[in-house]
Amino acid sequence: ENPEFAAAVEAAGLRFVGPTPESLALYGDKLAARKLAVELGVPVLPGTPDAVDAAEAAAFLAGLPAGASMVLKAVAGGGGRGMRVVHEASEAASAVDAARREAEAAFGVADIYAERFIRAARHVEVQVLGDGRGGVATLGERDCTLQRRHQKLIEVAPAPFLSDDLRRRLAGYAATMAEAGAYRSLGTFEFLLDTATDEIFFIEANPRIQVEHTVTEAIWDVDLVAQQLRIAEGATLADLDLPDRPRGTAIQARVNMERIEADGTIRPAGGTLSAYDPPAGPGIRVDGFGYAGYRTSSAYDSLLA
Active-site residue list: 208
User: Residue 231 — φ and ψ, nearest 5°?
Assistant: -65, -40
Residue pair 141/155 in contact by the 8 Å Cβ criterion = no
3-state percent breakdown (helix, strand, coil) of the chain, nearest 5 = 30, 25, 45
- Strand-pairing partners, residue 129, are 137, 186
Q: In angstroms, how far is the first alpha carbon of the chain from the final one? A: 22
Of 76, 23, 30, 78, nearest to 231 by C-alpha is 23
5: amino acid identity, one letter: F
Distance CA 291, CA 154 (A): 23
Q: Is 236 helix (H, G, I), strand (E, B) or coil?
A: coil
Please choose, from the candidates 22, 78, 86, the residue with its C-alpha nearest in 3D space to the C-alpha of residue 56: 86
